[in-house]
Structure 1
């Protein structure tokens, strides 16, 4: 088969796709990755074939100007009193106009042209790259999503459709369907709801999270569970990381998105480091050099480094403080390490709440982060053995999921 992966130029989303791309290629399938030009180096650096399409989007520059730190429409919202028709319809109008269209429109025409020439049998797209759904529908082939979060997208879509059916006919609207229908219509295709979900979805979250009743995720959709395989891109394990730490190691990793695409973090790093200064631990803080220069003096027990591959760092840690991105969360969890999650973006909140509910970590909202609060949480993670025990239990659950290689026959069957 010919298999096309597609994502808008978001490196963290792409990295989560790489182990599956390798598995499919090693099974004898032709694999290509299409994205905007900005992602070309990351794709080829992973040893995969890149197909640059369209032009780079300008989302992050706009987000900097509006001081945006994520989606203004909160996909993690669950309160019934908030989830009204007015809230959802306005939210979808906003999402389509400033996020979905902005990251997808520059690549759609080229992507459809690529699909018409290369004729993939399957298109795999991450849940915001609707260009993949449009191109696959335009040429009439199977397509599926590869998730980088809990599937809050489908859950919110179900809420929206349910409430829409209750509205008078002259007051109904569907901005997402209208946009997708218009775009695919230019190539002779027609909108169907499968364009919002794919024919199936590949999902790396633990089964206990997918079926957590607090998430209300009992969705009529086919999910293929897949073991999360950490991949950090091309990286080097430094000498200090090859030596066991002399004291319990605590990692502080808040992701690259906030510094590479926005103007900084949503919490005070100097305050957090200062609060951990008198604990008998070694703190490894992964901070870009520009951020390090703004810290001033750092405590003696802190090692500040521009980057350390998390799949090598996490197993050496007794606890990890992070922002709740899917890659960081799952990499830490698959190694059975307790976490303190300070979620910056919407996808981090359900992960953080799930972790705390399972007794495998703690969470603090960004509005409540203080040095003393972080110090108290880290002390609990280190001193109370139940956290490590429960994190190990969830790691066993994740490792029991099918590997990307195990999943290949299912993907082949569903595509045929």
Structure 2
């Protein structure tokens, strides 16, 4: 077949875009032409991965933008039980799956989240897409400029997830309730907003603008959202950006190695850590283990003491660290969890934000991990969990089963032919 033109669209956030790059490279090595649309300041993240960036729109910091928007309402905050804002909390709290809650949640999330995060990119992205003519657009679920541009230029398009699919699950619940409403009482704030852009560029709203023609999901089936149509499983391949392997990581240590990491997103945006790093280090002090803690230079001054069995580094290639570890303690990030799951390492998740608590609960149910809410994690509870994970064989057995499930999932290269088929089926024939 002729080479496809493939456009990836992502907000300027590493946690969203880095999981897209292995599939981007699989498409490249299959002979397709790949571009990554992003805001200007984020282009370096793309080019460091050896991919071609297309700067569009104007610069913004996603975290700061959303923080400013959300604080315009005094009662607006992440729900600590699950870390999800309305309406997405309804995806995992059945008692909140009501018409009133979902409608109000969509109204707020559109005005405080989707509009501010998408508006800076939309016009320029549509202009580029119409000029370049992509056959396929892959967009991460918060980059709503992606489906708008796809509908404007006639490209096939789908979502590429970096989280539990709370977006699709919430939409499924909303549509079910919408069908039960009287004809004149079916308000749909998300469809109204997206439909306005679709009409601006000569089209009409369709549900594919919310959930894509298909969805590429990197979570293994045992952890993924059940029953969503158009799901394409994809094996997670770790990529964390430019990295250098230090000599001390060439071999495994004599003692069990415990990794402590909080990811990159918080310190990238000067937000600090949700996890009490000092408390976790204190919990591990005196254990017969070697601790490797990734602590950003900007956060080290907050530590009053460092155990003798701990090595502190600002950054280390996580996939190389994971292969030498016996246990990982972290914030419940999607990429962090899957990186350790591939090796296979039992994990202690201390989640707080967005889908982290949901992922933590599912990981614990799978059996290879334990989870404690970040605000409830004490030195005593962390130490007890660590001892269980290191000494009870069932955790390693279940972690190995999860690794085997991941390995049986199609690799990025194996998924490319299916994407080629879907592109042929869904792109416009009149463009």
Q: Residues 186-245 of structure 1: CA distance to partner in whole angstroms, max 9, x if unpaired?
A: 1112110111111111111112223xxxx5x322x1111111111111111112222321
Structure 2 distance, partners of 1:255, 1:329, is: 10
Equivalent runs, 1:319-398 vs 2, <5 Å: 319-398=327-406
The residue correspondences of 1:89-108 to structure 2 (distance < 5 A) are 89-108=103-122
1:31 correspondence with 2:34: yes
Deviation per CA, 1:324-375: give whole Å up to 9, x if none: 1111111111111000011222322232122211210100012311111111
CA contact (8 A) 1:204 1:227 kept: yes
Unpaired segments ≥5 residues, structure 1: none
Which residue of the other structure, out of 319, 324, 342, is the alignment partner of 1:316?
324
1:186 equivalent to 2:200? Answer yes
Shift in Å, 1:184: 2.0
Partner of 1:306: 314
Instruction: Decide whether the 8 Å contact of 1:342 with 1:363 is kept in 2.
Output: yes
Query: TM-score with structure 2 length normalisation?
Result: 0.91
- The 1-side partners of 2:102 and 2:130 are apart by 35
Is the 1:122–1:142 contact (alpha carbons within 8 Å) kept by the matching residues of 2? yes
Query: Which 10-residue stretch deviates more, 331-340 or 163-172?
Result: 163-172
Query: Aligned residue for 1:292?
Result: 300
Q: Report the CA distance shift for 1:31/1:156 in structure 2 as closer, same or farther (over 3 A).
A: same
Unaligned runs of 5+ in 2: 425-431
1:49 aligns with 2:57: no
State the number of aligned residues.
Answer: 410
Deviation at 1:82, TM superposition (A): 1.9
Tell me, yes or no, if structure 1 residue 206 matches structure 2 residue 215: no
Cα pair distance change 1:201/1:354, threshold 3 Å:
same
Compared CA separation, residues 135 and 36, structure 1 to 2 (3 A): same
Q: Residue 403 of structure 1 corresponds to which residue in structure 2? A: 411
Matched, 1:40 2:43: yes
* Separation in 2, partners of 1:23, 1:79: 37
Residues 57, 167 of structure 1: alpha-carbon distance in 2 compared, 3 angstrom cutoff? farther
Contact 2:251 2:324 in 1 (8 A): no
Contact preservation (8 Å) 1:76, 1:350: no
1:133 paired with 2:142, answer no
2:161 paired residue number:
147
CA contact (8 A) 1:6 1:129 kept: yes
Once the two structures are TM-superposed, the CA of residue 246 in structure 1 deviates from its matched residue by 2.5
Show CA shifts across 1:71-98 (max 9, x none): 5326254333222212111111111111
The separation in 2 between residues aligned to 1:81 and 1:354, in whole angstroms, is 19
- Alignment partner of 1:72 is 2:85: yes
Q: CA contact under 8 A between 1:336 and 1:395: conserved in structure 2?
A: yes
Q: Check the 8 A contact 1:59/1:99 in 2, yes or no.
A: no
Cα distance in 2 for partners of 1:262, 1:290 equals 9
Indicate yes or no: 2:94 matched with 1:86.
Answer: no
**1:146–1:226 distance in 2 versus 1, CA, 3 Å:** same
SS in 2 for 1:208: coil
Give the alignment's TM-score, normalised by structure 1: 0.95
Counterpart mapping for 1:162-241 below 5 A: 162-210=176-224, 217-219=226-228, 221-241=229-249
CA root-mean-square deviation: 1.7
Contact 2:12 2:62 in 1 (8 A): no
Mapped partners of 2:207, 2:254: distance in 1: 55
- C-alpha distance in 2, partners of 1:343/1:413? 38
Kept in 2, the 8 Å contact 1:249–1:281? The answer is yes
CA contact (8 A) 2:368 2:398 kept: yes
Q: For residue 223 of structure 2, give the secondary structure of its aligned residue in structure 1.
A: helix
What does residue 428 of structure 2 align with? none
